[in-house]
Structure 1
Amino acid sequence: MRKIVFIEPNPPDFHIFSRMPLPRLGTVLLGTRLRQSGYEVKSYVESVGELDLKDVLSADLVCISTITSTSSRSYEIAKLVRKAGIPVAMGGPHVTYLPEEALQYADYVLRGEADDVIVDFIKALETGKGLDKIAGLSYYKDGAIKHNSTAPFCKDLDTLPAPDFSVISGMETENIRKLTIAPIMTSRGCPYDCSFCSVTGMFGQKYRFRSKERVIEELENHRKYGGDWVFFYDDNFCAHKKRTKELLSTMIEKRLTPNWTAQVRVEIAKDQELLDLMKKSKCHTVYIGLESINPQTLKLYNKQQSVEDITNCIRTLHKNGIRIHGMFVFGSDQDTTDTIAETVRFAKKNDLESVQFLILTPLPGTKCYRDLEGEGRIISKDWSLYDAHHVVFEPKLMSYYELQTETMRATKEFYSLWQIARRAARFDLFNVGIKTYGHSLTKKWIKNNQYFVEYTRALTSAGKRIELAAKKTAEDVKEKFRQIELAGGVPGQSAGSPYNR
């Protein structure tokens, strides 16, 4: 077994970050480790470039990474690959929580973090021995599913290799400049355990950090390729304020100050020294899970922050010249249509640069999923709809249709032509660009998803559940793979296939 192909499927629909392809680091790190161990590795990230099916089907093993919203497409790809006689391994949050489902389509599932087991897993496949010793592995043995013991979290993140992005098709060494925004991980884990978030189950509730030296080394490598944008990939970049300050101070000292963005929590606003260093080191925008301005909803989400914290954070960050991308989640058992309308007014009044108004989505592995599943309120398990833009559960204080359409209306209002004109009047060209993009994207999304809006209307009118025909996903997959039918053996597919370009 020499050639291994990784695939990171595209989400089923476009979203606010669709024009900024950013590969998830999991497959890149695993591919880097295998390449360093002597294997031929290629990774296809569909947000970066299309699959070359002929190349994929020349692999000895295909590994597919999936989140919930990409799992339907992942399963379709897995079926086609296995039909050609090639084994498939799957990993990622969705299959970590639902390995039995994944094993209907894949030969192996690697649950949780696979960094410390991936090489041993490949060697076990090569020798046909030792699969029972691979921590975190689920597979069929003697006709029954076997789940090996859970893989421990990687304790020392400095043992992970620096990600080699040239493993990604389209980002080979000569094209590495295509990575306009470099994802750099400095930590894993999160202790907050929000009710709708699957991070803690995947990466644990204890923070683990990379050393400052390793992070600086990656920043230096990125600069060599002319990169001037960095996204710190952590779930909470400022989790350990003292450590973050030391890193930012070193970046300033070494003049390693690309424009950078990161996910943070509202608590950063209480530390002026940290804010000064963020601004001086060229922090451009922070992404904050503000989630709600309804205190009861914040409690239900286990967010551990108040509306006052949110308001103070926005005011303080703006005072320090730091832009904010605010993320709100609608649909808790305490939310009404008034909550949504008030949130839009709040976002506009507080001059947020950009927002995502998301619909509560019960991702497998979360408390939200367990609660709604236990109450029989999940109305669809078409995973392609689990992108936080579609209603997939029965709301308590709103109808399906109200939650869907009011969330869409909120986004339209925030990114309205009037809001664009207001920014233009201030000569705020950055925000004019952001809001123009948001306006265009919102119109396109609504047009493409009108079928789903009508579905929620029918649900509401009927007063009961109606099984959603998964035509969108099924027809899309059928069309995508129309030219690459595997029944007669693959390598004879049409030269016109988009996967051959």
Structure 2
Amino acid sequence: MKIKLIQPRMSLRPVDSEFKRLMAPPLALLTLAALTPLGDEVIIEDENVADINYDDLPDLVGISVNIDTSQRAYTIGENYRKRGVPVVVGGIHVSANPDEALNYVDSVCIGEAESLWQQIVEDARKGQLKTKYYSEQPTDLEKIPIMNWNRIPVKNYLYNNVVITSRGCPFQCDFCYNSCEYVHNVYRNRPIEDVIQEINMLGTKHIMFIDDNFIGNIQWTREFVRRIKPLKLKWNAAVSINIGEYLDLLDEMKESGCQSLFIGFESINEQSISSVHKMQNKRTNYENVVREIHKRGIMINASLVFGLDHDDKSVFQSTLDWLVKNKIETMTAHILTPYPGTKLYKRMEQEGRIIDFNLKHYNTAHVVFAPLNMTKQELYDGYLWMYQEFYSFRNILRRMPERRDQQIPYLLFNLLYRKFGKALSFIGKRGFMNRFGKLARRLAYGVS
């Protein structure tokens, strides 16, 4: 059987460049390819790299769907269905909204696909594809195969050094898909030996761990960072703000090669944080956590959300002042976005505050709801202003790390990725993305 797996083209926010689209290969599709029975042919097409080839006639099409790619995914699905090809979709958006997807495709995989994929393939082979497949239990991560990177042209991607060590998150913030009813929100880690094997296969000393929360199981993380110390890696990860409660772990993370941490601060307004039940965040602890991380020579990428119910237009200036004062190295800003299926969406829908139903706009760069304490335009303008001011030459200099070994990676991100990213990524898209990534690793960390 011939199976085609498709990643629809991602929409870009005003501040994004092609680096965003071509950051890393579609790991979900690589995982499904590895799970496909031997003897079946698998083709992976990423529309961020090249247009979809409609000249073929596969026996089954599988599409990975996020909310901002959903409309494009449905168009692709309808195209194949008109030609008699069965189409199955999966991913967080369609898992939370399966009936919406079934208006355009034959079948929906609800939840994690690993335990369902082989059954889906067999049913398609028999011409008995079900309308819905539901993951009854969280996936056993011990049974996930290691991906074969040779299935995709890695030269087209900035990084092919991305690794997942876990699934799930210990927390259920209202604006996150983890608050959806379909989610088995059980935090699980992969076997340490499997992760280390995958790292060794990548052939690089720089690894980006892209878990929702790298410290969801403190004991596992503690053991893992001890095990990777001999590998002499340089690595980055995303953690929750409660990392400040585990200073001994921070020490070991640094000793094992940690260079920077992505942290969801979300807001410097305590009331705003509480309004979405992000209980792990305590505004009074922010400065201390930042201080402890910086003390260990680790940089911070702060994730922030604007438009929460207790935000007014003064939040932009006060947040910028806080970021600069604390010399936060990088910042990722978002307009609050109530994803359909989440607790936040349900609340705002009941309040009559959803004002834009175009799913292409649900990419954290559009105002799709009615804010309480500022206008829609004030929220959008403030979001753009944050990026403009934070990444101004003046504030890049003001936030410059004092440690000399941090200055090159800091400038690479602030200048080449953010400030001049659109021009540079336009060049990189011509087949140089992976070369750019390798060059950045050498310049930033002295590793290949």
TM-score w.r.t. structure 2 length?
A: 0.87
Query: 2:61, 2:378 → 1: CA distance?
Result: 42
Query: 1:199, 1:425 → 2: CA distance?
Result: 35
1:286 aligns with 2:261: yes
One of 27, 30, 33 as aligned partner of 2:32: 30
Q: Which residue of 1 aligns with 2:43?
A: 42
3-state DSSP class of the match of 2:231? coil
Query: 1:440, 1:336 → 2: CA distance?
Result: 31
Q: Which residue of 1 aligns with 2:191?
A: 211
Q: Which residue of 2 aligns with 1:160?
A: 144
Q: Which residue of 2 aligns with 1:451?
A: none
Q: Which residue of 2 aligns with 1:93?
A: 92
Query: 1:420, 1:8 → 2: CA distance?
Result: 35
One of 382, 399, 424 as aligned partner of 1:406: 382
Shift of 1:206: 1.8
State whether residues 354 and 370 of structure 2, in contact with CA within 8 Å, keep that contact through their aligned partners in structure 1: yes
Q: Which residue of 2 aligns with 1:199?
A: 178
1:385 aligns with 2:365: no
Shift of 1:357: 1.5
Shift of 1:19: 6.7
Query: 1:393, 1:266 → 2: CA distance?
Result: 27
Q: Which residue of 2 aligns with 1:367?
A: 343
Shift of 1:43: 1.3
Q: Which residue of 2 aligns with 1:18?
A: 20
Paired residues for 1:79-478 under 5 Å: 79-129=78-128, 131=129, 139=131, 147=132, 150-168=134-152, 170-171=153-154, 180-201=159-180, 203-223=183-203, 227-252=204-229, 255-304=230-279, 305-422=281-398, 428-436=407-415, 437-440=417-420
Deviations, residues 167-205 of structure 1 (Å, cap 9, x unaligned): 33x24xxx6x96734222211111210110003546522
Percent identical residues: 34
Bigger mean CA offset, 63-72 vs 199-208: 199-208
Cα pair distance change 1:431/1:19, threshold 3 Å? farther
Query: 2:26, 2:157 → 1: CA distance?
Result: 15
State whether residues 181 and 231 of structure 1, in contact with CA within 8 Å, keep that contact through their aligned partners in structure 2: no
Q: Which residue of 1 aligns with 2:433?
A: none
Cα pair distance change 1:192/1:294, threshold 3 Å? same
How many corresponding residue pairs?
415
Shift of 1:395: 0.5
Query: 1:75, 1:212 → 2: CA distance?
Result: 38
Query: 1:442, 1:344 → 2: CA distance?
Result: 23
Query: 1:420, 1:98 → 2: CA distance?
Result: 41
Paired residues for 1:49-68 under 5 Å: 49-54=49-54, 57-68=56-67
Cα pair distance change 1:114/1:194, threshold 3 Å? same
State whether residues 12 and 384 of structure 1, in contact with CA within 8 Å, keep that contact through their aligned partners in structure 2: yes
Deviations, residues 276-319 of structure 1 (Å, cap 9, x unaligned): 22112211211110000101011012111211222211111011
Between 1 and 2, higher relative CO (CA 8 Å, sep ≥ 6) is seen in 2
Shift of 1:368: 0.9
TM-score w.r.t. structure 1 length?
A: 0.78
Where structure 2 has 5 or more consecutive residues not aligned to the other structure, the ranges are 425-448
Shift of 1:207: 1.1
Structure with larger Rg: 1
Shift of 1:274: 1.0
Shift of 1:153: 3.0
3-state DSSP class of the match of 1:337? coil
Query: 2:58, 2:143 → 1: CA distance?
Result: 27
State whether residues 327 and 400 of structure 2, in contact with CA within 8 Å, keep that contact through their aligned partners in structure 1: no
State whether residues 69 and 386 of structure 1, in contact with CA within 8 Å, keep that contact through their aligned partners in structure 2: yes
Where structure 1 has 5 or more consecutive residues not aligned to the other structure, the ranges are 133-138, 140-146, 445-501
State whether residues 191 and 204 of structure 1, in contact with CA within 8 Å, keep that contact through their aligned partners in structure 2: no
Q: Which residue of 2 aligns with 1:476?
A: none
Shift of 1:120: 1.2
Cα pair distance change 1:424/1:245, threshold 3 Å? closer
State whether residues 327 and 399 of structure 2, in contact with CA within 8 Å, keep that contact through their aligned partners in structure 1: no
